[in-house]
A and B are shown apart, each in its own frame.
Chain A
Amino acid sequence: MATLVILIVVALFLTAILTGGYNERYLERVRQNWLWEWITTVDHKKIGILYLMAGGFFFTVGGLEALLIRIQLMFPNGKFIIGDTFNQLLSMHGTTMIFLVSLPLLFGLMNVIVPLQIGARDVAFPFINSLGFWLYFVGGLTLNLSWIFGGAPDAGWTSYATLALNEFSPGPGVNYYVLGLQIAGFGTLMSGINFLVTIINMRAPGMSYLRMPLFTWTSFVTSALILFAFPPLTAGMFMMMFDRLFETSFFATSGGGNSVIWQHIFWIFGHPEVYILVLPAFGVFSDVISTFSRKRLFGYHSMVFAVVLIGFLGFMVWVHHMFTVGLGAIANTIFAIATMAIAVPTGIKVFNWLFTMWGGRIRFTTAMLFAAGFIVVFVMGGVTGVMLSVVPADLQFHDSYFVVAHFHYVLIGGTILGFFAGLYYWWPKIFGSLLDEKWGRWHFWIFYLGMHLTFFPQHFLGLFGMPRRVFTYEAGYNLEMNNLLSSLGAFLMTAGMLIFLFNVVRTLTKGKKAPGDPWDGRSLEWSIPSPPPVYNFLQTPKVRGLDPWWLEKREGNDQMPVAEPLGPIHMPSPNHLPFLMSLSFFVSGIGFVFHSLAVGFMGLVGVVITLYMRSFEEDHGYHLIPEELEKEAKS
């Protein structure tokens, strides 16, 4: 504590010397720095880009972890990374990919695209949007600092009590998990609420619920799932934190707690989480497939119905992760049937996608390749999901590599292919340039083949008796070949990702400038320039039907009809408080990780101070004057 006080005092002195006490000009220079601009931005498009960059960074980290895991498992009796270190890799790989990669990447797309698709100028709460991002980012940072300070969490991404409790995981490891996810979870919950309010309140005139593009619909349902699924996670994390830091016994059996409760709480969150990750991807595919087939979505109403039903049923099935816990035949069969039921709306969606393409004229751009590739992978991942719901059979599948194969088919097939489809599709809208199609194709095919090569053999590994989360296996049990293939596949996927990175760098340095509507699009975002101006729509558009932009184009209009006269546009001011608030949470989190209550509470005091500052802030934003904007556009 004493060291900390000294450090703070020194830091204050240094700041004073550098700024000359309180130096207006110095502050002005900071304010004009590009970094400061990104830190304080409340523009949903920029926050979207921040999500994409942070998600991309964590994707690299999680991918490297996966690669190390596959190198260790390449040959039987491997000695490359064993024991606890291996467990740290697999725990961090899972946690990173689920919480810090899949969701943020989709949030990135949602942030940029959803307001554009509903014809809004911004999200409902720009400040909270920024806060959501920074909380997610510092949460992710907290988790990954564990690699630098040593002792990463090693109890799996599910961190089952009692293994995750102090008695069996001493040291800070699981603390990083508990605190990092709490902080990131706050951010996610806020973003979810923000999207709900945005979609309910800020749709352009004429954009009724049943005229919303499917991506907006799925973002809407996803946000609702977040609203209901993240509070249980937070509650569970709090209980785990209390067990670890303050020696309570919620889950510690030695103190009369119950470790099965953790599993219930975790999966009440964890199962909907799967749909939180995959539903936005469904939306991306729906938009991409209809655009590149040049047809409206087949069975739009049943698609919407299916999304809502999947969202609802997603909450009813958590026990299918717990068939082996011994909850009894009645509980197990009820949850088995609920799980099977989800296959029905999912099937509806798959057939609707196929019939959207039926009779269309399909252009196989890279985005469409990812979407078309997805259908195959996802059907395969989906049917193994139904197989897992067959309770007695699941007693064999459970915690074996069959399950590993299943969820990678679903999550990579759904979320990651969906993200790439969306990224290639919306890249011009986000960055104003076009990703190279030729390199895009290479990226798709290598990544796609690598994916199958990695995960298809894992079905057989499971059936041949290989449990998951093991750092080695013995020779002579028919596991060698499939493990080798799987590891080779992982290298192939890595190669695919390197091609993608190359493509991104190339595009950012010398990409072709994109027109406003490069794909002959159907929804509102294509009716404005790429990248969109900061205010999105000069005048709010008037929506006359499903696929509004397509409708206008077919009637020969070259822009959307407007719903309001030209007038001053209200914009929110940039704000640095979300960043400071998240920084305080970060300090607090790190403090608690190391059992330093003083630092922990000091961070919380910082949170309270920033909350106070925000509460009494009198900044109502500013107005853009259309005449000046036009002048600017001309010059």
Chain B
Amino acid sequence: MKKQGRQNAVVSSRKNKYRRGLSGLALIALSTGCANQSISVLDPAGPVGREQLSLIKLSTGIMTFVVLVVAILYLYVVIRYRERPGQENDQIPEQVEGNKKLEVLWTVVPILLLVILAIPTIATTFHQAKKPEEANTVRVHVTAYQYWWAFDYPELDITTANEVHIPVGRPIELMMKSHDVIHAFWVPSLGGKQDVNPGRTDRLVLQADKPGIFEGKCTELCGASHALMNFRVIAHPAKEFDQWVASQKNPVSTPTTKTGTDGQKWVGQNCIGCHAIENAGYRIKGKTGPNLTAFSKRTRIAGVLDNNEQNLKAWLKDTQGIKPGNRMPAFDHLTNEQIDAITQYLLQLK
């Protein structure tokens, strides 16, 4: 798999920001090389993630202080009071019972440190639990399936899968349901994290401050391909987002080539029981697999492969090898021509 985000124009500006973010975290700066950071918690791209990062910094600061105090005391004690050769038969050290003042000191100081930590913790927790302003909010319904994500925009009447497009600068209210087991929704750069429990609706509000592709992951063990249950949040400036919405509402699903037309037929015979493609002339549309409308605009296949012809063919022939345990059978009974046709058709869906 290629290093996808590198070509991204956003990355270079983000890298600078990342460096600035790090200045407070000397500990961490020591151990990192520099590479693509687009899934890092340390590189937030929205208010939620930023507030969380500032708490991470505050707690790291306090805790580093504690570790340093203990470490200095420890090193002093270990070096100063070690038994040196020849001391074996010296006098026994004085048997001290304790020291009330010292013991009170190391009870009270930690309590104070914890109070300093607890106040912003409580404040941020309640602040982040607040509902965003209704009018400005974009609502997205999320359904988690074993190893893929469905995204519906109830107010816009759009459905997509594994990639959710959002406008920059507006709060996104995610209403999440699970189709099967417990999953968890995590976009490290925007802020985390919410379990998606079967039998109830869970809620998470995120916001992106700048355009870019933000990687998302499932973080609750959900079965064989838990590791591969990736998705992407793609943030656009307001205008671009409106364009995307318009294009999704009127998708181009008519093939332009002869092979494409063949492909449309084979898709109808093989895929449409599970997948749906809008505007493509199919009367029955499956709902158990990801919606494939405007498939060519997706950056990835199944959340794990870059979207190109070669990968798509590989996916059709060996779904289990690429994503073990997923619900899509391998379509290795199709001839190469049929696979070619299906691939071409899918890559013409705009």
Contact = CB atoms under 8 A, between A and B. Distances in A.
Interface of A: 77, 82-84, 86-87, 155-156, 160, 162-163, 167-168, 253, 258-260, 293-296, 298-302, 324-326, 328-329, 332-333, 336-337, 340-341, 343-344, 347-348, 350-352, 354-355, 357-364, 372, 375-376, 379-380, 383-384, 386-387, 389-393, 395-396, 398-400, 457, 460, 462-465, 467-478, 481-482, 554
Which 10 A-B residue pairs are closest in the complex by CB-CB distance? A83-B324, A465-B39, A476-B3, A470-B227, A253-B199, A383-B63, A299-B98, A399-B219, A329-B129, A465-B188
Contacts of B38: 477
A82 B118 contact: no
A163 B114 contact: no
A471 B129 CA distance: 33
Nearest to A341: B114
Interface in B172-216: 180-182, 184, 186, 188-189, 191-195, 197-199, 202-203, 215
Nearest to A257: B199
Interface in B73-128: 73-74, 77-78, 81-83, 87, 90, 92-99, 102-103, 106-107, 110-111, 114, 117-118, 121-122, 124-126, 128
B117 A396 contact: no
Given A160-B182, A354-B74, A476-B3, 7 more contacts: A259-B197, A293-B93, A296-B95, A301-B98, A396-B52, A398-B192, A465-B215
B10 interface: no
B35 A336 contact: no
Contact of B52 (A82, A295, A395): A395
Contacts of B217: 465, 467
The interface residues of chain A, by DSSP majority, are classed as helix
Given A299-B103, A357-B77, A395-B191, A477 B39 contact: yes
Contacts of B60: 387
B302 interface: no
Interface in B213-241: 215, 217-228
A295 B180 contact: no
Contacts of A325: 195, 197
A253 B198 contact: yes
B229 to A, nearest CB: 9
A471 B224 CA distance: 9
Nearest to B93: A360
Given A298-B96, A393-B55, A460-B32, A333 B226 contact: no
A156 B221 contact: yes
A24 B339 CA distance: 77
B3 to A, nearest CB: 3
Nearest to A468: B219
A289 B107 CA distance: 21
A344 B107 contact: yes
B1 interface: yes
Contacts of A471: 226-227
B14 to A, nearest CB: 13
Contacts of B332: none
B70 interface: yes
A387 B37 contact: no
Contact of B224 (A87, A300, A396, A482): A87
A463 B180 CA distance: 28
A463 B42 contact: yes
B221 A163 contact: yes
Contact of A163 (B77, B118, B188, B222): B222
Contacts of A399: 184, 186, 193, 219-220
B4 interface: yes
B17 interface: no
A554 B91 CA distance: 12
Interface string B1-20: 11111100000000000000
Interface in B4-55: 4-6, 28, 31-42, 49, 51-53, 55
B284 interface: no
Contacts of B36: 476-478
A347 B66 CA distance: 10
B169 interface: no
B178 to A, nearest CB: 9
Contacts of A348: 103, 106-107
Given A332-B125, A469-B226, A259 B81 contact: no
Contacts of A354: 70, 73-74, 77
B70 A350 contact: yes
B197 A463 contact: no
B191 to A, nearest CB: 7
A328 B202 CA distance: 11
B330 interface: no
A387 B59 contact: yes
A463 B72 CA distance: 27
